[in-house]
């Protein structure tokens, strides 16, 4: 991988992390206890040869569906808006990327990795029923058995793993990078592969573009989110794109994005 490739991937990580967290009101090391790595795999598909590519070609809608299912599961009574509930990074994956031999040209088991950070407010609201919240997320994701109007039947299996900083060699940076490792490898190989999705950031950007047509900086809430993103991005750059180092630093200085 060239230096330019490494630089580009560093920039992407910085952008993805700052975009993912810019809707959080509080950024410090409590993020660890509110974070999950979710893996979604699709199996026993009725369209055999091209199903993997069909799923990846529907990436934008799949990302959005995942996000909406997760937000609805965390906040079933809809007491808060989606951007007040969670921050989510979603990356598509293929087999064997873990050993740096991704099967990009013939994916057999389409799957996705999701980094989920529940907002402090929502986590506190669910604190006495965390197991129930996790089951709702799992069940919601596993209920996805169609892709839009396409006649593609899916069998989905979702696995949630809560981040635990006390596990040996545990790292939020590793978990974050794991979610988009397929994109990272494909970029190094000059293979076209879906860019990770970041929510609610990209929904807010799309909505603002449609409503305003000029980037939306007259929208106070949107402008604040962009300011938060740029602030986090600057801090990440200062910490050499090391998320854990950033969280340790802001925990001491209490980075409040209200």
SS3 of 254, please? Answer: coil
Mean pLDDT over 170-192 rounds to 87
CA angle (95, 96, 99) in 5-degree steps? 160
Q: What is the pLDDT of residue 187?
A: 85
Whether 159 shows a pLDDT value over 90: the answer reads yes
Mean per-residue pLDDT over the chain, rounded: 81
Please report which residue ranges of the chain form alpha helices under DSSP H. Answer: 3-21, 51-57, 59-74, 120-125, 130-142, 172-179, 181-188, 201-212, 220-238, 243-253
**216/155: higher pLDDT:** 155
Whether 216 shows a pLDDT value over 50: the answer reads no
Q: What is the pLDDT of residue 193?
A: 83
Whether 220 shows a pLDDT value over 90: the answer reads no
Would you state the structure tokens that stand for residue 17, as one six-digit string? 């992390």
Whether 200 shows a pLDDT value over 60: the answer reads yes
Whether 3 shows a pLDDT value over 90: the answer reads no
Mean pLDDT over 90-114 rounds to 83
Whether 239 shows a pLDDT value over 80: the answer reads yes
Whether 217 shows a pLDDT value over 70: the answer reads no
| Of residues 159, 21, 179, the one with CA closest to residue 86 | 21
What digits encode the pLDDT tens for the residues 39-72? Answer: 998 765 555 455 556 666 677 778 888 999 999 9
Whether 231 shows a pLDDT value over 70: the answer reads yes
SS3 of 115, please? Answer: strand
- Report how far residue 68's alpha carbon sits from residue 85's, in angstroms, rounded to the nearest whole number: 11
- Report how far residue 221's alpha carbon sits from residue 177's, in angstroms, rounded to the nearest whole number: 29
Tell me if the bond preceding 200 is cis, omega within 30° of 0.
yes
Q: What is the pLDDT of residue 202?
A: 87
| Of residues 221, 5, 187, 220, the one with CA closest to residue 102 | 187
Whether 160 shows a pLDDT value over 50: the answer reads yes
What digits encode the pLDDT tens for the residues 110-158? Answer: 789 999 999 999 999 999 999 999 999 999 999 887 665 555 666 788 9
pLDDT-above-90 percentage for the chain: 31
Q: What is the pLDDT of residue 255?
A: 60
Q: What is the pLDDT of residue 55?
A: 67
Q: Are 204 and 222 in contact (CB under 8 A)?
A: yes
Q: What is the secondary structure of 165-204 as a DSSP string?
A: TTSTT--HHHHHHHHTHHHHHHHHTT---PPPEEETHHHH
């Amino acid at each position: 991988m060239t230096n330019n490739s490494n630089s580009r991937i560093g920039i992407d990580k910085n952008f993805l992390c700052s975009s993912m967290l810019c809707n959080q009101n509080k950024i410090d090391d409590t993020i660890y206890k509110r974070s999950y790595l979710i893996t979604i795999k699709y199996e026993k598909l009725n369209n055999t040869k091209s199903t993997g590519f069909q799923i990846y070609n529907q990436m934008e809608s799949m990302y959005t569906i995942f996000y909406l299912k997760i937000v609805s599961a965390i906040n079933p009574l809809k007491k808060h808006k989606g951007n007040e509930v969670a921050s989510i990074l979603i990356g598509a994956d293929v087999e064997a990327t873990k050993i740096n031999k991704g099967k990009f040209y013939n994916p057999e088991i389409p799957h996705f990795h999701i980094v989920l950070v529940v907002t402090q407010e929502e986590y506190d609201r669910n604190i006495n029923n965390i197991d129930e919240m996790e089951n709702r997320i799992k069940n919601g994701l596993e209920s996805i058995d169609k892709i839009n109007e396409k006649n593609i039947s899916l069998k989905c299996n979702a696995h949630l793993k809560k981040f635990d900083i006390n596990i040996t060699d545990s790292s939020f940076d590793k978990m974050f990078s794991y979610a988009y490792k397929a994109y990272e490898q494909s970029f190094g190989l000059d293979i076209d592969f879906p860019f990770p999705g970041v929510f609610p950031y990209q929904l807010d950007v799309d909505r603002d573009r449609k409503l305003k047509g000029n980037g939306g900086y007259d929208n106070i809430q949107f402008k604040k989110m962009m300011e938060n993103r740029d602030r986090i991005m600057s801090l990440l750059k200062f910490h050499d794109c090391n998320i854990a180092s950033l969280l340790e630093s802001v925990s001491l200085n209490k980075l409040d994005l209200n």
